[in-house]
Amino acid sequence: MASNSSSNSNGDAPSLEVAIVGGGIIGVMMALGLHRRGIKAVIYERAPSWHEVSAGFAFTGAGREYMQRLDPGILEVLSRISQKTDASTSNSYWDAYHPRTRQDAEDESKALLFRTPNNKLLFWGCVRSQFLLGMVALLPDGAVRFGKQLVSYDDDDESAKVILHFEDGSTAEAHALLGCDGIHSTTRKVLLGADHPASRPGYTHIAAYRTMVPIDVGIAALGEKVADSGCMHCGPDACLMSYPVMGGTLLNVAVFAHDPLEFPDPDKMTAPAERGEIERLFRGWSPHLADIAKLYPEKLVKWGIFDMDQDPPPTYARGRVCIVGDAAHASTPFLGVGACTGVEDALVLCTVLESVQQKTSDGDTEDDSVRQALQAYSRARLERGRWVHRSSREVGQMYQWRYGPTGRDTERIKRKLERASQTIVNYDILAPLVV
């Protein structure tokens, strides 16, 4: 990274230097937010080039507000590529097990469990890889180094910097290290210690089978209801989630199945699978779910769903190092706000580090300022992160009729979702922040 002589955007004071480990969605978003505040940030990405899976995900209205505050360009990218919901639309939840005919399965009076209006969450859905590349185009020159797999780091009090050590033998230094390196975070392992239970994610005993199909194919398989908004098809030990992406031209489909066994490759989190697994899973369900396997190729990949709920980190920061996004609080996808929680992290971090940058500009060179800022971030985010992965795990069990407090009771399921939605949107992410 640049030497201490690097200046901020005003050119009148040394700039704070930040190393971001991981070039995924949150890492790039973090870099953009810091650069906009005159803070020098460099991303260290282990892959040889930009890479993100072509799966769908979505952001709430609150998440988009935080993007705007991080860097308006981020929201502009999302706006161009997303399938948008508004207050007039709703997500629907269906009994996909009991109806015996396709007609009954699409009859709201017989199969619809309930709807939740989108006037609170207002999700915009998009394809992950498309969003990443759109944001990458906004990065300044020199903001990323590829082929940099973090091995360890030293938090050096003498220089008041973190020394990063990479697998290729190279090193880098920065005033702060932000670990945006995902659920299998090396930063987290070093920060907590390799033997700490929270250094590794836990298997939720849910496997996912994902695909994307043309919207007309999706409608033919699941009915007209899937064309405009999100649908969750519920049943015993499994569920199917769908929502349109790419301007409504594609349907993102994900089957989630309870898995009593341990996942075969917990490090890779994927395993080879066959279409027959989905066929057996939905045998005896309503006809449209029993036939859903036809949307999948004969040979496919299944994903193990891991999270941080079993052993959550006791802190998100130590010294001049912190963990962000999935590295801190990876969650299952059922609450739909895992990525949004990472956006919240990014805005809180930008806020506390901008304060450090301002102190530097004012001539205050207190060595502890970065450490204090990162501790403020951890205190502000720890409870929120834990609530997200705990609630998301419970909601996933609920969709599969495995959650004891709700069982198959439609009203209890609906009330729990409504309470979760209120907690998501009625939370001031900066309120608990004390710098």
Token pair for 433: 């922040």
Distance set, CA 21 to CA 30, 214, 281, 322 (Å): 11, 35, 39, 10
How far apart are the C-alpha atoms of 371 and 435, rounded to whole Å?
A: 10
Residue 219: phi, psi to the nearest 5?
A: -65, -40
* Residue 210 annotated as catalytic: yes
Chain centroid, CA 53 distance in Å? 13
Place of tokens 């999935």: 326
What are 349's strand-pairing partners? none
Place of tokens 């050119």: 11
- CB-CB contact of 124 with 85 (8 Å): yes
Chain centroid, CA 414 distance in Å? 24
Of the listed 210, 381, 393, 402, which one is catalytic? 210
The three-state (H, E, C) secondary structure of 302-334, written as one string? EEEEEECCCCCCCCCEECCEEECCHHHHCCCCC
What is the DSSP track for 146-173?
ES--EEEEEEETTTTEEEEEETTS-EEE
Sign of CA dihedral 421, 426, 429, 434: negative
Residue 8 identity: N
- CB-CB contact of 151 with 138 (8 Å): no
**Residues acting as catalytic residues:** 210
